[in-house]
Amino acid sequence: MDKMRICGGVPLKGKILISGAKNAALPLMAASLLSDETLTLINVPRLADIATMANLLGQHGVELGLNGNDNSLPRISGQTLDLKASRISSTLAPYDLVRKMRASILVLGPLLARCREAKVSLPGGCAIGTRPVDLHIAALESMGAEIVIADGYINARAPKGLHGAEIVFPMVTVTGTENILMAAAIAKGETVIINAAREPEITDLANCLAAMGAKIEGIGTDCLRVCGVERLRSAKHIVVADRIEAGTFAIAAAITSGKLELIGTRHEHLLSLWNILESIGIKSEPTKDGVMVCRRTDDLQSVDITTEPYPGFPTDLQAQIMALMCVSSGAATISETIFENRFMHVPELLRMGADITVHNSTAVVRGVSKLKGAPVMATDLRASVSLALAGLVAEGETILNRIYHLDRGYERLEEKLRACGAKIERIRA
């Protein structure tokens, strides 16, 4: 397995082009199942999870064409993907593919809406929690689906097709909202989704569906009203920039006392992060091409943080901001309210000399004068990058093991960081 070697102590300076968002590209790819015409996605990041979704769609019969980069567009670095589901040859999403990536659940709604049946493996839990899909299932049942869970599979059928419904999510679910939004686009009648997730990735999906001919009102709000149409047509869509990648690099600038311009970042997609960074002593300002982030005080202030659904502080940046709090002056309380086990980075940060105590879903982080490099283990995508951030500021060498976790969600991480001065290299197994 590949490893990453990081030597800390270098302030990062320069520009980083932010990739297309993984958590937008995945549902956008699944949306291709809804139409028999070509969906062209531009700025798709080169990530392991994207390849997994491409494999899954391929075995459903989606024809995929990779058309290199579209360099004609500014601030675009990703690949252009053509997806055409002219006919769907299989409605089975097998365990050996779904277990690699929970987001595979995103084929359930589109397959059921288009083919009136689907057999999708239960995604199972992962490092950060059990991650059930009961809300997806209940919502689809209210749209007329008959669903039986058996042998580890979701066996779903809708002999008369899906119909509109009023769906109230008892808790905010990102992929739950996405599954229902896609199913509702071609269901018979009107669907109202109340307490819908409002993440920018959902807005991106809704905008793409609208370009395909879907009729959606309330985009960007927690109440989505969808009037089903007979069929969706071809469209071209540019994947929104990855706000979590951008937030990760903003924290990299902060933790190394550097200065980075994050090209392609939408400032308005990370307001909760900019406010927290301001309190810590980090300045962020929109530029013509993105957002500039730099440290404006010597001493970083410890700040209490609670993760919340958008527009609150993202759970996907919790591990990263914790690394920053490890070297701030004072004590910070970090409360994780979205997932039940998202502190896997704590034991590894402790190995680097951090001072953190965890009580249930709250971590108390007392800043230390310095972290020391050490061999550490990546456990999940965001915990992994949190350890890389700690390595960038630690004294000495950090070896990050099992970096396949990183490759799932960060495109060319070491190249982007090295180009800004970081001493980081991949050690191929």
Per the annotation, the verdict on 126 as an active-site residue is yes
Residue of 334, 387, 409, 420 that binds ligand EPZ (CB under 6 A): 409
SS (H, E, C) 154-212: EEEECCCCCECCEEECCCCCHHHHHHHHHHHHCCECEEEEECCCCCHHHHHHHHHHHHC
Q: How far apart are CA 338 and CA 32, in angstroms?
A: 29
Catalytic option among 7, 126, 227, 326? 126
- Which of 112, 110, 111, 137 lies closest to 122 in space, CA to CA? 137
Smaller CB distance to ligand EPZ: residue 173 or 207? 173
Total residues contacting ligand EPZ (rule CB under 6 A)? 23
Q: Indicate the residue among 162 and 371 with the shorter CB distance to ligand EPZ.
A: 162
Residue spans of beta strands (DSSP E) within 282-341: 282-286, 290-295, 305-306, 331-335
Q: Which of 313, 270, 342, 292 is nearest to 125 (CA)?
A: 342
Binding mask 107-146 for ligand EPZ (x = CB under 6 A): ----------------------x-xxxxxx----------
CB nearer ligand EPZ, residue 144 or residue 409: 409
Spatial neighbors of 35 by CB under 8 A, at least 6 apart, are 85, 212, 231, 232, 233, 234
Q: Is 175 in the site for ligand EPZ (CB under 6 A)?
A: yes
Which amino acid makes up residue 27? Answer: P
Q: Which is nearer to ligand EPZ, 169 or 274 (CB)?
A: 169
Please choose, out of 75-83, 144-152, 172-180, 217-225, the segment that lies near ligand EPZ by the rule CB under 6 A: 172-180
Rg (CA), the chain: 21
What whole-number distance in Å separates Cα of residue 62 and Cα of residue 82? 10
**Does 171 interact with ligand EPZ (rule: CB under 6 A)?**
yes
Query: In this chain, which of 11, 20, 176, 200 binds ligand EPZ, going by CB under 6 A?
Result: 176
Q: Which of residues 304-323 bind ligand EPZ (CB under 6 A)?
A: 315-316
> What's phi and psi for 296, nearest 5 deg?
-120, 0
Shortest separation between residue 310's beta carbon and ligand EPZ, angstroms: 7
Task: Give contact residues for ligand EPZ (rule: CB under 6 A).
Answer: 23, 26, 102-103, 129, 131-136, 171, 173-176, 315-316, 338-339, 381-382, 409
Residues catalogued as catalytic: 126
